[in-house]
A and B are shown apart, each in its own frame.
Chain A
Amino acid sequence: MNVIEKDAAAIEVTTGNDVKNVLIVGVGGQGVIMVSKVLALICQDQGHNVKQSEVHGMAKRGGTVFSHVRFGEKVWSPTIPKGKADILLAMEWAEGLRWLNHLKKKTGTLIADTQHIVPPFACLDRTRGASSGYTTQLPGDILENLHDGYALDATGIATEIGNFRVSNTVLLGTLSAILDFPVEIWRKVISEMVPPATIDLNLKAFDAGRSWVEESRKVGKAPEAKPEKKAKKQAPAPKVDSKPVDKDFELVLTPEWCKGCDICVKVCPERCLILNAEHKVELSKPDACTGCRICEWLCPDFAIDVVKDATKTNQTSASA
Protein backbone atom coordinates (compact mmCIF):
# COMPACT_ATOMS: atom_id res chain seq x y z
CA MET A 1 0.00 0.00 0.00
CA ASN A 2 1.66 3.21 -1.09
CA VAL A 3 1.38 6.54 0.64
CA ILE A 4 -1.49 7.85 -1.44
CA GLU A 5 -3.56 4.75 -0.92
CA LYS A 6 -2.86 4.88 2.80
CA ASP A 7 -3.98 8.48 2.95
CA ALA A 8 -7.06 7.63 0.99
CA ALA A 9 -7.90 4.83 3.35
CA ALA A 10 -7.39 7.15 6.31
CA ILE A 11 -9.69 9.71 4.81
CA GLU A 12 -12.32 7.10 4.23
CA VAL A 13 -12.11 6.08 7.86
CA THR A 14 -12.36 9.60 9.21
CA THR A 15 -14.97 10.93 6.82
CA GLY A 16 -17.09 7.94 6.15
CA ASN A 17 -18.93 7.82 2.87
CA ASP A 18 -21.04 10.91 3.23
CA VAL A 19 -18.47 13.28 1.67
CA LYS A 20 -18.99 14.04 -1.99
CA ASN A 21 -15.98 14.93 -4.09
CA VAL A 22 -16.27 17.07 -7.19
CA LEU A 23 -13.15 17.73 -9.24
CA ILE A 24 -13.37 20.56 -11.73
CA VAL A 25 -10.65 20.78 -14.37
CA GLY A 26 -10.07 22.94 -17.41
CA VAL A 27 -7.84 25.42 -19.11
CA GLY A 28 -6.95 28.81 -17.67
CA GLY A 29 -9.47 31.43 -18.71
CA GLN A 30 -12.45 29.07 -19.03
CA GLY A 31 -13.95 29.80 -15.62
CA VAL A 32 -12.97 26.76 -13.58
CA ILE A 33 -12.68 28.81 -10.41
CA MET A 34 -16.06 30.43 -10.99
CA VAL A 35 -17.73 27.03 -11.32
CA SER A 36 -16.11 25.73 -8.16
CA LYS A 37 -17.06 28.89 -6.25
CA VAL A 38 -20.69 28.58 -7.34
CA LEU A 39 -20.74 24.94 -6.31
CA ALA A 40 -19.08 25.67 -2.95
CA LEU A 41 -21.56 28.46 -2.16
CA ILE A 42 -24.52 26.26 -3.03
CA CYS A 43 -23.23 23.45 -0.83
CA GLN A 44 -22.71 25.90 2.01
CA ASP A 45 -26.22 27.24 1.55
CA GLN A 46 -27.56 23.71 1.78
CA GLY A 47 -25.96 23.29 5.18
CA HIS A 48 -22.95 21.23 4.15
CA ASN A 49 -19.45 21.56 5.42
CA VAL A 50 -17.43 22.57 2.34
CA LYS A 51 -13.73 22.65 1.52
CA GLN A 52 -12.53 24.06 -1.78
CA SER A 53 -8.96 24.25 -2.97
CA GLU A 54 -7.48 25.08 -6.28
CA VAL A 55 -4.30 25.56 -8.24
CA HIS A 56 -4.33 28.65 -10.35
CA GLY A 57 -2.12 31.57 -11.14
CA MET A 58 0.90 29.57 -12.25
CA ALA A 59 -1.17 28.24 -15.10
CA LYS A 60 -1.87 31.67 -16.58
CA ARG A 61 -4.33 31.88 -19.43
CA GLY A 62 -4.12 28.71 -21.50
CA GLY A 63 -2.52 26.46 -18.88
CA THR A 64 -4.10 23.73 -16.83
CA VAL A 65 -6.33 24.72 -13.91
CA PHE A 66 -8.06 22.46 -11.44
CA SER A 67 -10.23 22.92 -8.39
CA HIS A 68 -11.29 20.45 -5.71
CA VAL A 69 -14.67 20.83 -4.03
CA ARG A 70 -15.53 18.48 -1.15
CA PHE A 71 -18.76 18.73 0.78
CA GLY A 72 -20.57 16.67 3.38
CA GLU A 73 -21.36 16.54 7.08
CA LYS A 74 -17.73 17.08 8.05
CA VAL A 75 -14.84 17.54 5.62
CA TRP A 76 -11.26 17.30 6.83
CA SER A 77 -8.85 17.36 3.92
CA PRO A 78 -9.37 19.90 1.15
CA THR A 79 -7.94 17.73 -1.64
CA ILE A 80 -9.39 14.74 -3.44
CA PRO A 81 -7.07 11.72 -3.67
CA LYS A 82 -6.69 9.66 -6.83
CA GLY A 83 -9.65 7.49 -7.59
CA LYS A 84 -11.95 9.20 -5.08
CA ALA A 85 -13.80 11.84 -7.11
CA ASP A 86 -17.53 11.29 -7.44
CA ILE A 87 -17.87 13.77 -10.26
CA LEU A 88 -15.22 14.95 -12.68
CA LEU A 89 -16.27 18.11 -14.47
CA ALA A 90 -13.92 18.71 -17.41
CA MET A 91 -14.21 21.88 -19.43
CA GLU A 92 -11.80 20.62 -22.04
CA TRP A 93 -11.61 17.16 -23.51
CA ALA A 94 -7.90 16.41 -23.02
CA GLU A 95 -7.96 17.85 -19.50
CA GLY A 96 -10.82 15.46 -18.73
CA LEU A 97 -8.75 12.51 -19.92
CA ARG A 98 -5.73 13.70 -17.95
CA TRP A 99 -7.68 13.65 -14.68
CA LEU A 100 -9.70 10.52 -15.41
CA ASN A 101 -7.70 8.47 -12.88
CA HIS A 102 -9.09 10.65 -10.09
CA LEU A 103 -12.59 9.44 -10.80
CA LYS A 104 -14.13 6.63 -8.69
CA LYS A 105 -13.86 3.54 -10.83
CA LYS A 106 -17.32 2.10 -10.13
CA THR A 107 -19.51 5.03 -9.24
CA GLY A 108 -17.82 8.09 -10.74
CA THR A 109 -19.54 10.41 -13.21
CA LEU A 110 -17.72 12.29 -15.93
CA ILE A 111 -19.11 15.51 -17.38
CA ALA A 112 -16.97 16.74 -20.22
CA ASP A 113 -17.02 19.48 -22.79
CA THR A 114 -15.84 17.95 -26.04
CA GLN A 115 -14.17 21.11 -27.29
CA HIS A 116 -10.46 20.94 -28.02
CA ILE A 117 -7.95 23.53 -26.86
CA VAL A 118 -4.57 22.55 -28.25
CA PRO A 119 -1.83 23.80 -25.92
CA PRO A 120 1.21 25.56 -27.38
CA PHE A 121 3.48 22.74 -26.20
CA ALA A 122 1.63 20.31 -28.42
CA CYS A 123 2.60 22.31 -31.50
CA LEU A 124 6.36 22.20 -31.22
CA ASP A 125 6.63 20.94 -34.77
CA ARG A 126 5.52 23.87 -36.89
CA THR A 127 5.86 22.10 -40.21
CA ARG A 128 2.77 22.41 -42.34
CA GLY A 129 0.37 19.54 -41.70
CA ALA A 130 2.37 18.16 -38.77
CA SER A 131 0.48 16.30 -36.05
CA SER A 132 -0.41 18.49 -33.10
CA GLY A 133 -0.02 15.64 -30.64
CA TYR A 134 -3.56 16.16 -29.34
CA THR A 135 -5.35 13.08 -28.05
CA THR A 136 -7.16 10.99 -30.64
CA GLN A 137 -9.41 9.28 -28.09
CA LEU A 138 -13.06 9.90 -28.86
CA PRO A 139 -15.80 10.53 -26.29
CA GLY A 140 -17.57 7.30 -27.28
CA ASP A 141 -14.59 5.11 -26.38
CA ILE A 142 -14.16 6.74 -22.99
CA LEU A 143 -17.79 6.88 -21.91
CA GLU A 144 -18.34 3.18 -22.66
CA ASN A 145 -15.94 2.22 -19.88
CA LEU A 146 -17.39 4.55 -17.27
CA HIS A 147 -20.21 4.10 -14.79
CA ASP A 148 -21.87 7.28 -16.00
CA GLY A 149 -20.67 9.95 -18.35
CA TYR A 150 -21.90 12.94 -20.29
CA ALA A 151 -19.96 14.42 -23.17
CA LEU A 152 -21.53 17.53 -24.63
CA ASP A 153 -20.42 20.33 -26.85
CA ALA A 154 -20.91 22.98 -24.15
CA THR A 155 -18.91 25.55 -26.07
CA GLY A 156 -21.09 24.98 -29.12
CA ILE A 157 -24.23 25.36 -27.01
CA ALA A 158 -22.83 28.54 -25.43
CA THR A 159 -21.95 29.97 -28.85
CA GLU A 160 -25.51 29.30 -30.00
CA ILE A 161 -26.84 31.14 -26.97
CA GLY A 162 -24.70 34.13 -27.74
CA ASN A 163 -21.26 33.94 -26.15
CA PHE A 164 -18.82 31.03 -26.02
CA ARG A 165 -17.60 32.33 -22.64
CA VAL A 166 -20.69 31.01 -20.85
CA SER A 167 -19.72 27.40 -21.62
CA ASN A 168 -18.83 27.01 -17.95
CA THR A 169 -22.39 27.92 -16.97
CA VAL A 170 -23.72 25.36 -19.46
CA LEU A 171 -21.65 22.76 -17.64
CA LEU A 172 -22.98 24.05 -14.31
CA GLY A 173 -26.45 23.37 -15.67
CA THR A 174 -25.41 19.83 -16.52
CA LEU A 175 -23.92 19.40 -13.05
CA SER A 176 -27.12 20.71 -11.43
CA ALA A 177 -29.08 17.89 -13.04
CA ILE A 178 -26.81 15.34 -11.43
CA LEU A 179 -26.46 16.85 -7.96
CA ASP A 180 -29.52 16.89 -5.74
CA PHE A 181 -29.91 20.60 -5.02
CA PRO A 182 -32.98 22.77 -5.79
CA VAL A 183 -32.83 24.68 -9.07
CA GLU A 184 -33.71 28.02 -7.46
CA ILE A 185 -30.57 28.09 -5.36
CA TRP A 186 -28.41 27.37 -8.45
CA ARG A 187 -30.01 30.22 -10.32
CA LYS A 188 -29.71 32.54 -7.33
CA VAL A 189 -26.01 31.88 -6.75
CA ILE A 190 -25.15 32.13 -10.45
CA SER A 191 -26.96 35.48 -10.65
CA GLU A 192 -24.92 36.72 -7.70
CA MET A 193 -21.61 35.47 -9.06
CA VAL A 194 -21.60 36.61 -12.69
CA PRO A 195 -21.21 40.20 -13.94
CA PRO A 196 -24.62 41.95 -13.78
CA ALA A 197 -24.78 42.56 -17.54
CA THR A 198 -24.48 38.84 -18.28
CA ILE A 199 -27.03 37.44 -15.79
CA ASP A 200 -29.67 36.69 -18.43
CA LEU A 201 -27.17 35.09 -20.74
CA ASN A 202 -25.76 32.92 -17.95
CA LEU A 203 -29.20 31.79 -16.76
CA LYS A 204 -30.07 30.86 -20.33
CA ALA A 205 -26.86 28.87 -20.56
CA PHE A 206 -27.64 27.18 -17.24
CA ASP A 207 -31.07 26.12 -18.47
CA ALA A 208 -29.58 24.86 -21.71
CA GLY A 209 -27.08 22.68 -19.87
CA ARG A 210 -29.74 21.35 -17.50
CA SER A 211 -32.25 20.57 -20.23
CA TRP A 212 -29.54 18.83 -22.23
CA VAL A 213 -29.20 16.22 -19.47
CA GLU A 214 -32.95 15.85 -19.07
CA GLU A 215 -33.36 15.33 -22.80
CA SER A 216 -30.60 12.79 -23.00
CA ARG A 217 -32.15 10.94 -20.03
CA LYS A 218 -35.50 10.87 -21.78
CA VAL A 219 -33.90 9.36 -24.83
CA GLY A 220 -32.05 6.68 -22.91
CA LYS A 221 -34.36 5.38 -20.15
CA ALA A 222 -33.18 1.81 -20.49
CA PRO A 223 -29.60 1.36 -19.35
CA GLU A 224 -28.62 -0.56 -22.49
CA ALA A 225 -29.71 2.36 -24.61
CA LYS A 226 -27.06 4.55 -23.01
CA PRO A 227 -24.39 4.38 -25.70
CA GLU A 228 -26.89 5.49 -28.34
CA LYS A 229 -28.04 8.43 -26.32
CA LYS A 230 -24.50 9.58 -25.93
CA ALA A 231 -23.63 8.97 -29.52
CA LYS A 232 -26.60 11.08 -30.50
CA LYS A 233 -25.60 14.09 -28.47
CA GLN A 234 -21.90 13.86 -28.94
CA ALA A 235 -20.01 16.52 -30.73
CA PRO A 236 -18.78 15.55 -34.20
CA ALA A 237 -15.72 13.35 -34.12
CA PRO A 238 -12.55 15.42 -34.06
CA LYS A 239 -10.44 15.43 -37.18
CA VAL A 240 -7.65 12.91 -37.02
CA ASP A 241 -4.32 14.65 -37.47
CA SER A 242 -2.95 14.09 -40.92
CA LYS A 243 0.60 13.09 -41.70
CA PRO A 244 3.03 15.89 -42.63
CA VAL A 245 2.42 16.86 -46.22
CA ASP A 246 4.97 17.66 -48.86
CA LYS A 247 6.27 21.17 -48.59
CA ASP A 248 4.38 23.50 -50.91
CA PHE A 249 7.10 26.16 -50.89
CA GLU A 250 10.76 26.56 -51.59
CA LEU A 251 13.30 28.83 -49.95
CA VAL A 252 15.21 30.48 -52.79
CA LEU A 253 18.45 32.14 -51.72
CA THR A 254 20.41 34.69 -53.73
CA PRO A 255 23.87 34.60 -52.10
CA GLU A 256 25.23 37.21 -54.54
CA TRP A 257 22.95 39.79 -52.96
CA CYS A 258 23.55 38.71 -49.35
CA LYS A 259 25.71 41.02 -47.27
CA GLY A 260 25.90 38.78 -44.24
CA CYS A 261 24.04 41.05 -41.82
CA ASP A 262 22.92 38.03 -39.74
CA ILE A 263 19.31 39.23 -39.39
CA CYS A 264 17.75 36.14 -40.98
CA VAL A 265 19.89 33.82 -38.85
CA LYS A 266 18.78 35.53 -35.64
CA VAL A 267 15.07 35.91 -36.45
CA CYS A 268 14.42 32.43 -37.84
CA PRO A 269 12.14 30.66 -35.32
CA GLU A 270 13.43 27.27 -36.46
CA ARG A 271 17.09 28.30 -36.45
CA CYS A 272 17.56 26.74 -39.87
CA LEU A 273 19.66 29.45 -41.54
CA ILE A 274 23.39 30.01 -41.07
CA LEU A 275 26.09 32.22 -42.49
CA ASN A 276 28.73 30.17 -44.27
CA ALA A 277 32.50 30.73 -44.37
CA GLU A 278 32.06 33.42 -47.03
CA HIS A 279 29.52 35.17 -44.79
CA LYS A 280 26.64 34.38 -47.10
CA VAL A 281 23.27 32.96 -46.11
CA GLU A 282 22.83 29.19 -46.30
CA LEU A 283 19.95 26.85 -45.43
CA SER A 284 21.41 24.42 -42.92
CA LYS A 285 18.28 22.45 -42.01
CA PRO A 286 15.94 22.36 -45.02
CA ASP A 287 13.50 20.01 -43.28
CA ALA A 288 13.01 22.38 -40.36
CA CYS A 289 11.98 25.33 -42.54
CA THR A 290 8.26 26.03 -42.28
CA GLY A 291 8.09 28.79 -44.87
CA CYS A 292 6.94 31.36 -42.32
CA ARG A 293 8.48 34.18 -44.42
CA ILE A 294 9.99 36.11 -41.50
CA CYS A 295 13.47 35.91 -43.06
CA GLU A 296 12.05 36.98 -46.40
CA TRP A 297 10.38 40.04 -44.88
CA LEU A 298 13.35 41.10 -42.80
CA CYS A 299 16.12 40.57 -45.36
CA PRO A 300 17.14 44.10 -46.33
CA ASP A 301 19.01 42.79 -49.38
CA PHE A 302 16.14 40.75 -50.92
CA ALA A 303 18.43 37.71 -50.87
CA ILE A 304 15.73 35.34 -49.54
CA ASP A 305 12.51 34.46 -51.33
CA VAL A 306 9.86 32.00 -50.21
CA VAL A 307 8.36 30.75 -53.43
CA LYS A 308 5.04 28.97 -53.08
CA ASP A 309 4.44 26.05 -55.36
CA ALA A 310 0.89 26.73 -56.49
CA THR A 311 0.32 23.21 -57.83
CA LYS A 312 1.17 21.63 -54.48
CA THR A 313 -0.96 24.13 -52.55
CA ASN A 314 -3.93 23.24 -54.73
CA GLN A 315 -3.33 19.55 -54.26
CA THR A 316 -3.28 19.74 -50.47
CA SER A 317 -6.36 21.92 -50.30
CA ALA A 318 -8.20 19.57 -52.65
CA SER A 319 -7.29 16.49 -50.63
CA ALA A 320 -8.08 18.08 -47.26
Chain B
Amino acid sequence: MDSSNSADSFNIRDYLRLEMFPHFLCPGCGHGIAMRALLWAVYELDIDKDKIAIVSGIGCSGRIGAYVDANTFHTTHGRPLAYATGLALARPDLHVIVITGDGDSLAIGGNHLIHACRRNLNMTCMMLNNEVYGMTGGQASPTTSETRYTTTSQSGSIEPVFDACALASAAGASFVGREVTVHTPNLKDLLRDALDHNGFSFVEVLSDCTEVFGRKNNLGESPEMILSQKSKMRPSSYGSANGNIVDEPFRPTTLPTGILTHKERAEYGDTYRAHVEKISGSVKNG
Protein backbone atom coordinates (compact mmCIF):
# COMPACT_ATOMS: atom_id res chain seq x y z
CA MET B 1 0.00 0.00 0.00
CA ASP B 2 1.24 3.45 -0.83
CA SER B 3 2.09 5.24 2.40
CA SER B 4 0.56 8.46 1.09
CA ASN B 5 -2.76 6.66 0.73
CA SER B 6 -3.32 6.27 4.44
CA ALA B 7 -6.63 6.40 6.26
CA ASP B 8 -5.77 9.90 7.43
CA SER B 9 -5.70 11.39 3.96
CA PHE B 10 -8.74 9.58 2.58
CA ASN B 11 -11.49 12.09 1.82
CA ILE B 12 -14.60 10.39 0.56
CA ARG B 13 -15.84 13.63 -0.98
CA ASP B 14 -13.22 13.26 -3.71
CA TYR B 15 -15.18 10.26 -4.97
CA LEU B 16 -18.74 11.56 -4.66
CA ARG B 17 -21.09 13.47 -6.93
CA LEU B 18 -21.66 16.10 -4.30
CA GLU B 19 -24.55 17.77 -6.14
CA MET B 20 -26.62 14.62 -5.59
CA PHE B 21 -26.27 14.61 -1.81
CA PRO B 22 -27.80 13.86 0.62
CA HIS B 23 -28.42 10.45 -0.90
CA PHE B 24 -31.84 8.80 -1.07
CA LEU B 25 -31.09 5.86 1.24
CA CYS B 26 -33.17 5.59 4.40
CA PRO B 27 -31.75 6.70 7.76
CA GLY B 28 -29.44 4.02 9.12
CA CYS B 29 -29.19 2.02 5.90
CA GLY B 30 -25.96 0.01 5.87
CA HIS B 31 -25.51 0.51 2.13
CA GLY B 32 -23.88 3.88 2.78
CA ILE B 33 -21.27 2.24 5.00
CA ALA B 34 -20.55 -0.39 2.34
CA MET B 35 -20.18 2.41 -0.20
CA ARG B 36 -17.61 4.13 1.99
CA ALA B 37 -15.67 0.87 2.34
CA LEU B 38 -15.67 0.37 -1.42
CA LEU B 39 -14.43 3.88 -2.15
CA TRP B 40 -11.85 3.58 0.62
CA ALA B 41 -10.56 0.36 -0.98
CA VAL B 42 -10.40 2.12 -4.36
CA TYR B 43 -8.46 4.94 -2.72
CA GLU B 44 -5.99 2.55 -1.07
CA LEU B 45 -5.31 0.83 -4.37
CA ASP B 46 -4.85 4.26 -5.93
CA ILE B 47 -7.09 3.48 -8.90
CA ASP B 48 -7.78 6.37 -11.24
CA LYS B 49 -11.45 7.36 -11.15
CA ASP B 50 -11.57 7.23 -14.96
CA LYS B 51 -10.50 3.59 -14.81
CA ILE B 52 -13.42 2.53 -12.66
CA ALA B 53 -16.67 1.34 -14.17
CA ILE B 54 -19.46 0.77 -11.69
CA VAL B 55 -22.31 -1.29 -13.05
CA SER B 56 -25.35 -1.54 -10.84
CA GLY B 57 -28.74 -3.16 -11.07
CA ILE B 58 -32.09 -2.09 -9.73
CA GLY B 59 -32.83 -1.67 -6.05
CA CYS B 60 -31.47 0.31 -3.16
CA SER B 61 -28.03 -1.15 -3.87
CA GLY B 62 -28.29 -0.11 -7.51
CA ARG B 63 -28.59 3.51 -6.54
CA ILE B 64 -25.10 3.55 -5.05
CA GLY B 65 -23.63 3.85 -8.51
CA ALA B 66 -25.43 7.12 -9.04
CA TYR B 67 -23.53 8.79 -6.20
CA VAL B 68 -20.00 7.77 -7.19
CA ASP B 69 -17.99 10.17 -9.31
CA ALA B 70 -16.72 7.56 -11.78
CA ASN B 71 -17.98 5.81 -14.90
CA THR B 72 -21.30 4.44 -13.76
CA PHE B 73 -23.88 2.37 -15.53
CA HIS B 74 -27.35 1.85 -14.08
CA THR B 75 -28.77 -1.24 -15.77
CA THR B 76 -31.86 -3.42 -15.68
CA HIS B 77 -33.06 -5.52 -12.77
CA GLY B 78 -30.85 -8.54 -12.18
CA ARG B 79 -28.68 -7.99 -15.25
CA PRO B 80 -25.73 -5.85 -14.14
CA LEU B 81 -23.42 -8.88 -14.42
CA ALA B 82 -24.48 -9.44 -18.04
CA TYR B 83 -23.77 -5.82 -18.94
CA ALA B 84 -20.53 -5.94 -17.00
CA THR B 85 -19.42 -9.07 -18.84
CA GLY B 86 -19.64 -7.24 -22.14
CA LEU B 87 -17.93 -4.19 -20.72
CA ALA B 88 -15.08 -6.16 -19.15
CA LEU B 89 -14.47 -8.07 -22.38
CA ALA B 90 -14.45 -4.91 -24.48
CA ARG B 91 -12.43 -2.80 -22.05
CA PRO B 92 -10.02 -5.02 -20.08
CA ASP B 93 -8.22 -1.89 -18.89
CA LEU B 94 -11.15 -0.91 -16.66
CA HIS B 95 -11.79 -2.03 -13.10
CA VAL B 96 -15.34 -3.26 -13.45
CA ILE B 97 -17.24 -3.18 -10.17
CA VAL B 98 -20.73 -4.62 -10.04
CA ILE B 99 -22.96 -3.45 -7.21
CA THR B 100 -25.99 -5.62 -6.75
CA GLY B 101 -28.47 -6.63 -4.10
CA ASP B 102 -29.63 -9.98 -2.77
CA GLY B 103 -32.84 -10.04 -4.80
CA ASP B 104 -31.11 -8.51 -7.80
CA SER B 105 -28.32 -11.08 -8.01
CA LEU B 106 -29.77 -14.23 -6.43
CA ALA B 107 -33.38 -14.25 -7.66
CA ILE B 108 -33.87 -12.14 -10.73
CA GLY B 109 -30.28 -12.37 -11.90
CA GLY B 110 -29.41 -15.73 -10.37
CA ASN B 111 -28.58 -17.21 -13.74
CA HIS B 112 -26.24 -14.37 -14.60
CA LEU B 113 -24.47 -14.74 -11.28
CA ILE B 114 -23.64 -18.42 -11.64
CA HIS B 115 -22.43 -17.97 -15.20
CA ALA B 116 -20.31 -14.96 -14.32
CA CYS B 117 -18.75 -17.10 -11.56
CA ARG B 118 -18.26 -19.95 -14.00
CA ARG B 119 -16.47 -17.80 -16.60
CA ASN B 120 -14.18 -16.15 -14.05
CA LEU B 121 -14.00 -12.86 -15.92
CA ASN B 122 -11.98 -10.15 -14.18
CA MET B 123 -14.50 -8.06 -12.25
CA THR B 124 -15.60 -7.46 -8.70
CA CYS B 125 -19.16 -8.12 -7.63
CA MET B 126 -20.26 -6.52 -4.37
CA MET B 127 -23.55 -7.99 -3.24
CA LEU B 128 -25.35 -6.03 -0.54
CA ASN B 129 -27.45 -8.48 1.40
CA ASN B 130 -30.19 -6.85 3.45
CA GLU B 131 -32.50 -9.90 3.35
CA VAL B 132 -35.30 -8.06 1.55
CA TYR B 133 -36.41 -6.24 -1.61
CA GLY B 134 -36.26 -2.83 0.02
CA MET B 135 -36.99 -0.42 -2.80
CA THR B 136 -40.00 -2.22 -4.22
CA GLY B 137 -41.82 -2.41 -0.91
CA GLY B 138 -40.31 -5.12 1.24
CA GLN B 139 -40.97 -8.40 -0.53
CA ALA B 140 -39.20 -11.57 0.62
CA SER B 141 -35.93 -12.29 -1.17
CA PRO B 142 -33.93 -15.53 -1.45
CA THR B 143 -31.90 -14.50 1.60
CA THR B 144 -34.82 -13.62 3.89
CA SER B 145 -34.24 -15.68 7.03
CA GLU B 146 -36.86 -18.19 7.99
CA THR B 147 -39.70 -16.90 10.21
CA ARG B 148 -39.08 -13.29 9.12
CA TYR B 149 -42.10 -11.16 8.23
CA THR B 150 -42.18 -9.33 4.91
CA THR B 151 -44.96 -8.03 2.69
CA THR B 152 -44.97 -11.34 0.82
CA SER B 153 -44.52 -13.53 3.87
CA GLN B 154 -47.16 -12.13 6.17
CA SER B 155 -47.07 -15.08 8.54
CA GLY B 156 -43.30 -15.49 8.51
CA SER B 157 -41.08 -16.78 5.74
CA ILE B 158 -40.96 -20.56 5.43
CA GLU B 159 -38.45 -20.80 2.59
CA PRO B 160 -34.87 -21.97 3.19
CA VAL B 161 -32.17 -19.34 2.66
CA PHE B 162 -29.59 -19.11 -0.10
CA ASP B 163 -25.95 -19.05 1.05
CA ALA B 164 -24.69 -16.69 -1.63
CA CYS B 165 -21.00 -17.28 -0.90
CA ALA B 166 -21.35 -21.06 -1.08
CA LEU B 167 -23.26 -20.63 -4.33
CA ALA B 168 -20.62 -18.38 -5.88
CA SER B 169 -17.81 -20.62 -4.71
CA ALA B 170 -19.49 -23.73 -6.07
CA ALA B 171 -20.19 -21.99 -9.37
CA GLY B 172 -16.46 -21.34 -9.74
CA ALA B 173 -15.75 -17.81 -8.53
CA SER B 174 -12.04 -17.60 -7.77
CA PHE B 175 -12.39 -15.08 -4.92
CA VAL B 176 -15.30 -15.21 -2.49
CA GLY B 177 -15.61 -13.27 0.75
CA ARG B 178 -18.17 -12.07 3.22
CA GLU B 179 -18.10 -9.26 5.73
CA VAL B 180 -20.49 -7.18 7.81
CA THR B 181 -20.82 -3.43 7.41
CA VAL B 182 -20.18 -2.74 11.08
CA HIS B 183 -16.53 -3.83 10.69
CA THR B 184 -15.78 -1.19 8.10
CA PRO B 185 -11.97 -1.44 8.01
CA ASN B 186 -12.20 -5.23 7.60
CA LEU B 187 -14.75 -4.77 4.84
CA LYS B 188 -12.42 -2.29 3.18
CA ASP B 189 -9.54 -4.77 3.35
CA LEU B 190 -11.71 -7.51 1.87
CA LEU B 191 -12.89 -5.29 -0.98
CA ARG B 192 -9.33 -4.17 -1.62
CA ASP B 193 -8.19 -7.78 -1.95
CA ALA B 194 -11.18 -8.49 -4.19
CA LEU B 195 -10.37 -5.53 -6.46
CA ASP B 196 -6.76 -6.63 -6.59
CA HIS B 197 -7.68 -10.19 -7.55
CA ASN B 198 -7.39 -11.18 -11.21
CA GLY B 199 -10.58 -13.08 -11.89
CA PHE B 200 -14.17 -12.98 -10.73
CA SER B 201 -14.37 -11.81 -7.13
CA PHE B 202 -17.60 -11.99 -5.21
CA VAL B 203 -18.06 -10.15 -1.92
CA GLU B 204 -21.22 -10.49 0.11
CA VAL B 205 -21.80 -7.57 2.47
CA LEU B 206 -24.26 -8.15 5.29
CA SER B 207 -26.15 -4.88 5.36
CA ASP B 208 -29.31 -3.88 7.14
CA CYS B 209 -32.70 -2.59 6.11
CA THR B 210 -34.29 -0.69 8.97
CA GLU B 211 -37.38 0.75 7.34
CA VAL B 212 -39.13 -2.12 5.62
CA PHE B 213 -37.47 -5.11 7.26
CA GLY B 214 -36.16 -4.27 10.71
CA ARG B 215 -39.28 -2.45 11.77
CA LYS B 216 -41.58 -5.25 10.61
CA ASN B 217 -39.53 -7.83 12.45
CA ASN B 218 -38.99 -5.86 15.62
CA LEU B 219 -35.21 -5.85 15.19
CA GLY B 220 -34.75 -2.44 16.78
CA GLU B 221 -33.56 0.86 15.39
CA SER B 222 -30.61 1.16 13.04
CA PRO B 223 -27.89 1.23 15.74
CA GLU B 224 -29.21 -2.01 17.23
CA MET B 225 -29.47 -3.61 13.79
CA ILE B 226 -25.94 -2.54 12.85
CA LEU B 227 -24.43 -3.77 16.12
CA SER B 228 -26.35 -7.05 16.06
CA GLN B 229 -24.44 -7.93 12.89
CA LYS B 230 -21.47 -8.70 15.12
CA SER B 231 -23.28 -11.69 16.62
CA LYS B 232 -24.24 -12.95 13.17
CA MET B 233 -20.72 -13.38 11.91
CA ARG B 234 -18.01 -15.93 12.50
CA PRO B 235 -14.55 -14.97 11.21
CA SER B 236 -13.21 -17.62 8.87
CA SER B 237 -9.93 -17.47 10.77
CA TYR B 238 -11.69 -19.63 13.38
CA GLY B 239 -10.76 -22.43 11.03
CA SER B 240 -14.03 -23.94 9.84
CA ALA B 241 -12.55 -23.90 6.32
CA ASN B 242 -10.08 -26.57 7.45
CA GLY B 243 -12.78 -28.81 8.78
CA ASN B 244 -12.34 -27.54 12.32
CA ILE B 245 -15.87 -27.01 13.49
CA VAL B 246 -15.05 -26.38 17.09
CA ASP B 247 -17.47 -23.47 17.44
CA GLU B 248 -20.21 -24.72 15.15
CA PRO B 249 -22.28 -26.48 17.82
CA PHE B 250 -22.46 -23.29 19.86
CA ARG B 251 -23.26 -20.82 17.11
CA PRO B 252 -24.88 -22.78 14.33
CA THR B 253 -26.75 -19.81 12.88
CA THR B 254 -23.71 -17.61 12.30
CA LEU B 255 -22.20 -17.04 8.89
CA PRO B 256 -18.48 -17.35 8.24
CA THR B 257 -16.84 -14.05 7.33
CA GLY B 258 -13.55 -13.04 5.77
CA ILE B 259 -11.98 -14.52 2.64
CA LEU B 260 -13.79 -17.82 2.09
CA THR B 261 -12.41 -18.91 -1.29
CA HIS B 262 -9.22 -17.76 -2.94
CA LYS B 263 -7.88 -19.79 -5.83
CA GLU B 264 -6.05 -19.12 -9.06
CA ARG B 265 -7.98 -19.97 -12.19
CA ALA B 266 -7.59 -18.94 -15.80
CA GLU B 267 -9.14 -15.50 -16.25
CA TYR B 268 -11.80 -15.63 -18.98
CA GLY B 269 -10.72 -12.37 -20.70
CA ASP B 270 -7.19 -13.69 -21.21
CA THR B 271 -8.47 -17.02 -22.50
CA TYR B 272 -10.89 -15.23 -24.80
CA ARG B 273 -8.31 -12.89 -26.30
CA ALA B 274 -5.79 -15.70 -26.79
CA HIS B 275 -8.47 -17.72 -28.48
CA VAL B 276 -9.42 -14.85 -30.80
CA GLU B 277 -5.79 -14.36 -31.73
CA LYS B 278 -5.36 -18.04 -32.44
CA ILE B 279 -8.43 -18.21 -34.67
CA SER B 280 -7.67 -15.02 -36.57
CA GLY B 281 -4.12 -16.30 -37.09
CA SER B 282 -5.35 -19.59 -38.49
CA VAL B 283 -7.78 -17.77 -40.77
CA LYS B 284 -4.96 -15.62 -42.16
CA ASN B 285 -2.70 -18.65 -42.66
CA GLY B 286 -5.45 -20.70 -44.20
Contacts and interface: CB of A to CB of B under 8 A. Distances in A.
Interface stretch (A100-108, A160-168, A255-263): A255-263
B219 interface: no
Interface in A304-320: 305, 307-308, 310, 313
Interface residues of A: mostly helix, strand, loop or mixed? loop
Contacts of B12: 302, 305
Interface string B6-31: 01110111001000011101111111
B181 to A, nearest CB: 8
A224 B284 CA distance: 99
A263 B29 contact: no
B164 interface: no
B226 A263 contact: yes
A303 B36 CA distance: 12
Interface residues of A, number: 24
Interface residues of B, number: 31
A256 B7 CA distance: 24
Interface in B179-207: 181-182, 184-185
Interface residues of B: mostly helix, strand, loop or mixed? helix
A297 B25 contact: no
A262 B11 contact: no
Given A297-B36, A297-B185, A305-B11, A261 B22 contact: no
Contacts of B221: 261-262
Contacts of A310: 8
A298 B28 CA distance: 9
B92 interface: no
A147 interface: no
27 contacts: A257-B22, A259-B26, A261-B28, A261-B223, A262-B28, A263-B222, A263-B226, A267-B226, A267-B227, A297-B33, A297-B185, A298-B33, A300-B27, A300-B29, A300-B30, A301-B22, A301-B25, A301-B27, A301-B32, A302-B12, A302-B13, A302-B16, A302-B21, A302-B32, A305-B11, A305-B13, A310-B8
Enumerate the 4 nearest inter-chain pairs by beta-carbon distance, A residue then B residue, closest first: A300-B32, A261-B28, A266-B223, A259-B27
